[in-house]
Structure 1
Amino acid sequence: MTENIPNYRGASAPYGLGYVPGPWMQSIQVSKGSSSVKNGYEAITGQINVEFKKPQLPEADWVSANLFASTTSRYEANADATLKLSKRWSTSLLTHYENETKVHDNNGDGFVDIPRVEQYNVWNRWAYMGDHYVFQAGFKALSETRDSGQERHGGMAMDSGEDLYKVGIDTKRYELFTKNAYVFNKEKNTNLALILSSTWHDQDASYGRKLYNVDQTNVYASLMFETEFNKQNSLSTGLSFNYDAYDQHYRLENKTEQPLTKAFDKEAVPGAYVQYTLNLDDRWMIMAGLRGDYSNEHGFFVTPRAHMKYTPNEYVNFRLSAGKGYRTNHVLAENNYLLSSSRKVNIAKDLDMEEAWNYGASVSSYIPIFGKTLNINAEYYYTNFLKQVVVDMDSNPHEVAFYNLDGRSYSHVFQVEASYPFFKGFNLTGAYRLSDVKSTYKGERMESPLTSKYKGMLTASYQTPLGIWQFDATLQLNGGGRMPNPYTLADGKSSWDARYGSFEQLSMQVTRYFRRWSIYVGGENLTNFKQKNPIVDAANPWGDNFDSTMIWGPVHGAKGYVGIRFNLARN
């Protein structure tokens, strides 16, 4: 979600965060487990909401800019400017350009290790802040080319007559939104709000001779009413409407003589919700919500969700959550990257709407130790799918099949994290997550492939007393997992190992602050870990064994970067 508007759906989902320039962001909120019914029926295991810089905020800079360059020849430029037109009106312009088009093939397999990407991104937004009426609107436009694939046959020089395997994705995306709110009573937070948004996403993608072109249109509307009866009781209710249309033209085989298949999918979902919140002296908080929606494709469905928080004292709080979620799966729009292999694609008819229950529990504690506070958080979430679209790369290693779940599919996730400021300016954070994710593939329950069993992280941050220098380091531990069932190559060897192993990655950054600008230098994957031979049968991309989708780790090694930030503050 972007500013509480559902965004980056369908064809844009695989690259969603790539369309969000970091310097544009003001904050990110992550909700785990089932979220509020206000935000829709789709969140099954959580939601990510990005808040962007807003021109109406008092702390908005007049001008800010960020220039970035890396050792992989990635260059990036970001700039934004804010103009206060009057006491009520303000506007801002945000721009972004990135270029990483140099060819990298460090492992010598003839395929580029890093996709070549060039992106233009611009956003103009407006805001009117009245005493009772608030208005925001914005228009965003994006153009991106993303190329990859073969540059030469192994270590051989490229011949102009060679038939090389190429991957190309050209994207044009436009977004328009408005937010309107009328405040009836500020003391009781009584307000009526209307959110309208529309996006058009045009993507033309080729994987060898396979093609997937899609024009995706989304229209979203939400009318919300909120009020607080008193300090203990509040109510939120509203109506929503979501429309998705996919105009698709595709060829799923490497046969140029095969005509394109045309398909048009559309889904309109009107809905309504009500949510009640009980607050008992900030010790007990209970939020219960219920929404009903009707899909022209899947009929009527009900989404119940509940959250509870208990804070017995200032040192600890407990949370419980339970809720249902639904999602319509558009298999080609969301998984077209799987076309970059020799696998045949088999899509079953009458795919179900995904349906799952999620249950969660967490405890957060704040323990005073030596005059400082040790923060410890432990959480557990269980997701049980009643219906699911299975992506099966196991039953036939030369095929990827999409069909309805017949059996169990679930995940158990446990995570614990701790943070402690050992001395002034220095903070150390550690986290560990353990996952058990399984699904049923043609009657056999197995671990979900390409899913790490565990992940760990250790982050250290230090800022000097005067705030002039900032030092950051992060060590990430990535556990091993199961690979899809392999097959035997012509030389008698297995196409890949049954499992992949664990690996570590280290990132570091040093920042020097000045009055109006700062400079930073850093590195990623400083442990220089690289997955060996990531592309199966790279020498024969048009053969029956070629597969470039079995990627579980970094393909490129260590990378360094340098950047400079500038801001002209309002005050």
Structure 2
Amino acid sequence: MNIHIYKVLACVLATFSLPQNELLAQTDSTATIKDQTLKEVMVVKRRSGTIKLRNVDNASLITGQELLKAACCNLGESFTTNPSVDVNYSDAATGAKQIKLLGLSGTYVQMLTENLPNFRGAAAPYSLGYIPGPWMKSIMVSKGASSVRNGYESITGQINVDYLKPEDEEGATINLYGNTKSKMEANADGNIHLGKVNTEILGHYENDWGHHDDNGDGFLDQPNVRQVNLQNRWQYAGQTYIFHGGLGLLDEQRDGGQTHHTAPHVHNPYEIGLKTRRYEAHMKHAFILDAEKGTNVALMASGSLHNLEALYGKNTYDVDEKNGYLQLMFETNLTKLHNLSAGFSLNHDYLKEKLSVTSETQTVTKETTPGAYLQYTLNINDKIVAMAGLRADHSSHYGTFVTPRLHLKYAPSDVLTLRVSAGKGYRTPFALAENNYLLASGRTLVVDDLKQEEAWNYGISAAWSIPLADKLLKVNAEYYYTHFLQQMLIDYDSNPQQIRLANLDGKSYSHTFQVDVSYPVVNGLELTAAYRLNDVRATYGGELREKPLQSKYKGLLTASYKTPLGLWQFDATFQLNGGGRMPDPYQKTDGTLSWDRRFPAYGQLNAQVTRWFRHFSVYVGGENLTGYRQENPIIGASDPWGSEFEPTMVWGPVHGRMFYAGIRVNLGKKL
């Protein structure tokens, strides 16, 4: 980690995370006309909430300003206005969500917090709810094969969450939120500066106590979730040494399924209950050896304990997961043009799983993976940049494998930037831990002896910044191709009585094309439009087919307007999600098909209004204002104990309109 780059990036993030109603001003108090001194002139300028970074890879920064355009209760709700990342329910019973990038599941996106890998294995299905929105300072989304410094797991990209910092402006904030679905949240953060040492406490509490069943199928539309989440973070900055570290704990209870509230006549309701306890710790040490050449050494480490006790009707699944990660990095600028980075990493995963379906089984999975990397970067005045990386790792389970990656950037002018990337990625599938929500299905879950996943990713993109009417029209076009050599597939098609987690036997690939345009039409008003086309296919039962439950396309239109004095802000987002293939239906006992062969396109509208005051702001808004929802997200709801019960056929919203309101209060901090 280059200390100079780290400091510059920290400054950039701080600059673009200013509170919404702070005015950016240029002043000239010396101007005079006819010997009369004018008062200072305030020139207001609004920065975009999503910033296209100048990195060699295709990366965008979602700033705190962008996150305030919606309620953003957690990470999963922070991509509403983002054209690249989709967030979908995995099933209609547990509330599990997954992100999709480049048309593929979020398991192929490497999740990072503060540039440390996080939320692996058992944490993956519900991790989007583990990071409260008010805790986040920014989110960086990188597409395609990323740098080899963070490991070998990034296949379609990386998402790195940057938390609020202990070294940020001293003070505290409180955020209270409630919605018409009986959910309430309370968030608080505060930091204290103690000389060169700074500390911060982050707190979160949420409770969803409602029992909403809008479609009357006897099942909760979304589970009741009660969560307590706390973190304590520390920072020290000296002349030649920088330290960051912290501790975190999470306690969550998630209850869904049939209840006596939704189905009072049911004597033996089908219940879903998940109790999660998670503990985290991390530390980062940076030693500056030569500030002039940017020579430094960094040591980073993290650890987590994740315990899940899950009940799906009569099926139970318990898992104790432990993860430890260590990374040592060295970086130096050989000359002004040449940068060299090298390092060593060690990752250890331990999972103790206990599954009870027809009988009880217990398994222990251990994997230790040491690895080393070397990365070279050529930078010619930020016009031509080439980054080549190579790493080798040895898994105690899969043996030795090599990960090459290459990024090229060419910016012939301030108007045009071209990027090309190619790289390989690997991933260890934790079948039950990552997909335990499938146990809610009435089908039999079958898990094959899975191989390590392996894929190539290729990408090309072009970004234009075109001066138009004294403003900049920003246009971005990109194409990515992901080709799997080995893959774990969720196979719904081969056997109507089974869900099989199987190894790929044939071809599997994803083509993704996207174009997006943004333009500040008038002062304070910015419009963004985007369109993405997905062609995702894999081999099921010997036949190359569309991947099921995957929208063929997505259209996005966002509008954001802030009044000249920054007192009012209006935001609206419309999404059009294309239709796609359903898994092959089967014939029910009454002779009808279990579901349609394809699902239709649908639109969603979200909107929010914010009023800014000196020390607080109030916001009101609504989600899914079009009211569209999947009519029967749970198949066979009348007989949840039967083999035809299927809550995992989710392709659209599972609940209708929702309205919310909240207040943010700053204590000691500037707005």
Give the TM-score taking structure 2 as reference length: 0.82
For each residue in 1:231-256, what CA deviation from the matched residue of structure 2 results, as whole angstroms up to 9, or x when unmatched? Answer: 100011000000001000002x3x4x
For each residue in 1:98-133, what CA deviation from the matched residue of structure 2 results, as whole angstroms up to 9, or x when unmatched? Answer: 011210111111000011000000000111111111
Q: CA deviation at 1:157?
A: 3.0
CA distance in 2, matches of 1:178, 1:357: 32
Aligned to 2:444: 344
Contact 2:170 2:193 in 1 (8 A): no
Given the alignment of the two structures, is residue 222 of structure 1 paired with residue 327 of structure 2, yes or no?
Answer: yes
For each residue in 1:503-561, what CA deviation from the matched residue of structure 2 results, as whole angstroms up to 9, or x when unmatched? Answer: 00000000000111000000000000011111111111111111111111111100000
For each residue in 1:162-193, what CA deviation from the matched residue of structure 2 results, as whole angstroms up to 9, or x when unmatched? Answer: 11111111000000001001011222211100
CA distance in 1, matches of 2:325, 2:557: 40
Residue identity in the other structure for 2:149: K
Residue identity in the other structure for 1:140: G
CA distance in 2, matches of 1:505, 1:525: 5
Given the alignment of the two structures, is residue 246 of structure 1 paired with residue 351 of structure 2, yes or no?
Answer: yes
Aligned to 1:149: 257
Q: Secondary structure at the match of 2:178?
A: strand
Residue identity in the other structure for 1:516: H
Q: Please, what is the CA RMSD of the aligned residues?
A: 1.1
Residue identity in the other structure for 2:150: N
CA distance in 2, matches of 1:570, 1:104: 39
Q: Secondary structure at the match of 1:275?
A: strand
Unaligned ranges ≥5, structure 1: none
Given the alignment of the two structures, is residue 85 of structure 1 paired with residue 198 of structure 2, yes or no?
Answer: no
Q: 2:172 aligns with which of 63, 77, 81?
A: 63
Residue identity in the other structure for 1:46: G
For each residue in 1:466-485, what CA deviation from the matched residue of structure 2 results, as whole angstroms up to 9, or x when unmatched? Answer: 00000000001111111111
CA distance in 2, matches of 1:79, 1:458: 32
Residue identity in the other structure for 2:339: S
Q: Secondary structure at the match of 1:188?
A: coil
Contact 1:110 1:152 in 2 (8 A): no
Residue identity in the other structure for 2:238: G
CA distance in 2, matches of 1:346, 1:519: 50
Given the alignment of the two structures, is residue 133 of structure 1 paired with residue 241 of structure 2, yes or no?
Answer: yes
Q: Secondary structure at the match of 2:328?
A: strand
Q: 2:468 aligns with which of 366, 369, 374?
A: 369
Aligned to 1:73: 182
Residue identity in the other structure for 1:400: I
CA distance in 1, matches of 2:170, 2:518: 31
* Residue pairs, 1:314-393, within 5 angstroms: 314-349=414-449, 351-393=450-492
Aligned to 2:282: 177
Residue identity in the other structure for 1:464: T
Unaligned ranges ≥5, structure 2: 1-111
Q: CA deviation at 1:370?
A: 1.0
Aligned to 2:208: 100
Contact 1:453 1:481 in 2 (8 A): yes
With over 3 angstroms needed to count, the CA separation of the structure-2 counterparts of 1:156 and 1:470, relative to structure 1, is: closer
CA distance in 2, matches of 1:27, 1:41: 24
Q: CA deviation at 1:152?
A: 5.0
Q: Secondary structure at the match of 1:16?
A: helix
After superposing on structure 2, the runs of 4+ consecutive aligned residues of structure 1 that deviate more than 6 Å are none
With over 3 angstroms needed to count, the CA separation of the structure-2 counterparts of 1:491 and 1:374, relative to structure 1, is: same
CA distance in 1, matches of 2:151, 2:555: 31
CA distance in 2, matches of 1:568, 1:444: 61
Q: CA deviation at 1:570?
A: 4.5
CA distance in 1, matches of 2:418, 2:496: 45
Given the alignment of the two structures, is residue 307 of structure 1 paired with residue 410 of structure 2, yes or no?
Answer: no
Q: Secondary structure at the match of 1:13?
A: helix
With over 3 angstroms needed to count, the CA separation of the structure-2 counterparts of 1:555 and 1:85, relative to structure 1, is: same
CA distance in 1, matches of 2:300, 2:369: 16
Aligned to 1:158: 265
Q: CA deviation at 1:569?
A: 3.9
* Residue pairs, 1:5-24, within 5 angstroms: 5-24=116-135
Given the alignment of the two structures, is residue 540 of structure 1 paired with residue 649 of structure 2, yes or no?
Answer: no
Q: 2:223 aligns with which of 103, 111, 115?
A: 115
CA distance in 2, matches of 1:74, 1:189: 49
Contact 1:524 1:559 in 2 (8 A): yes
Aligned to 1:413: 512
Residue identity in the other structure for 1:54: K
CA distance in 2, matches of 1:570, 1:493: 62
CA distance in 2, matches of 1:415, 1:558: 29
Q: CA deviation at 1:568?
A: 2.4
Contact 2:493 2:541 in 1 (8 A): no
